[in-house]
Amino acid sequence: MINLAVIIPTFNRKEYLKNLLDQIKNISHSKFTVNVITVVDGSTDGTLEMLKSNHPKVNTVIGNGNWWYTKSINKGIDCAYKLGTDYILTLNDDILLKENFFEELYKAMTQSPKKSIIGASSFTKTKPKKILSLGVKKIILWRYKLIPYYKIFTNKKDVRCLEGLHQSQVLPGRGLLFPIEIAKRINGFDEKFPQYHSDYDFSLRAKKKGYKLYVCWDLIVYSFIEETGQGTSYLKSSFKSFLKGFITKHSRTNLKDNARYLFRHGHKIFFPITFSIFILSSFNSHFFKKKINE
């Protein structure tokens, strides 16, 4: 049996979290001893009460409201150490798993090299189901452009033969499996990225330590992004909110966080160009890219 810790950071999404925990409890995971760790970072919507009444066996770590995603993950990892965990799986609180998720997770683990990190593929929950992430096949480093296997929001029905393991240049935290030993080696997720980029940064730092990154197209999570994806480029927002995002500490487009990430993982000699492209691309996405809530 593989000792697996499932870490779920959450903030004021009681119903989404309950649905996910109900599912994890009820679907088969016979190859794993599963310890769920929910990191509740200052929720005020009754999340703690729900956990106490509906999921008393879940390990609950309580934050002060200022941990955000990255510190919450690290606190979950600290808890996993105490539980004697072999592997860690990070999940978002606004997802559901495909019914055979743990079966496919075990297959992916047995089919991949020993020093591997595995990411799930993700689709929208609402119909028609659309691709969110199926991995990144290439990075054009001089401009730090990620080339995905399939474009975001491609209809799932339009793509054939979505199966198997595929190498990915980076991996998101929405269904990320890694051996706990790598968290020790690279000192966990970098809290200089409090909300965004820390998952990509973690996978890239692990790759530099010799770990292979794979996305498994049979390992599927479904996300409620139309309802929970506020602040992303694919949801319509006001121009004022868009500009504010450049200076908001926990924004996806925060200039400081993006500069740090691009300087760390891109070509340093091209950093001025790369950073300028990021800013121009942000404006382009806001004004010209089709939004899913339009």
Q: Report d(CA 34, CA 7) in Å as an integer.
A: 10
**Mean of pLDDT values over 84-96:** 97
Q: What are phi and psi of 171, to 5 degrees?
A: -140, 140
Q: What is the pLDDT of residues 144-157, one digit of tens each?
A: 999 999 999 999 98
Say which amino acid occupies 116: S
The pLDDT of residue 226: 66
Tell me the residue range of the domain where 282 lies: 239-288
- pTM exceeding 0.85: yes
Whether residues 9 and 53 share a domain: the answer is: yes
The residue out of 199, 226, 253 marking a domain boundary is 226
Whether residues 194 and 248 share a domain: the answer is: no
Whether residues 248 and 221 share a domain: the answer is: no
| 232 falls within a domain | no
Q: What is the pLDDT of residues 91-123, one digit of tens each?
A: 999 999 999 999 999 999 999 998 999 999 999
Q: What is the pLDDT of residues 206-231, one digit of tens each?
A: 999 999 999 999 999 999 986 555 55
| 126 falls within a domain | yes
**Mean of pLDDT values over 190-219:** 97
Total domains in the chain come to 2
The pLDDT of residue 126: 87
Whether residues 142 and 253 share a domain: the answer is: no
When the pLDDT of each residue in the chain is averaged and rounded to a whole number, the result is: 93
Contact 77, 54 (CB under 8 A): no
Query: 288 falls in which pLDDT band (50, 70, 90)?
Result: confident
Whether residues 176 and 278 share a domain: the answer is: no
Whether residues 99 and 195 share a domain: the answer is: yes
Q: What is the pLDDT of residues 43-72, one digit of tens each?
A: 999 999 999 999 999 999 999 999 999 999
Whether residues 140 and 246 share a domain: the answer is: no
Whether residues 243 and 282 share a domain: the answer is: yes
| 138 falls within a domain | yes
Q: Is the dihedral of CA 5, 176, 73, 42 positive or negative?
A: negative
Query: 234 falls in which pLDDT band (50, 70, 90)?
Result: low
Whether residues 206 and 245 share a domain: the answer is: no
The pLDDT of residue 276: 97
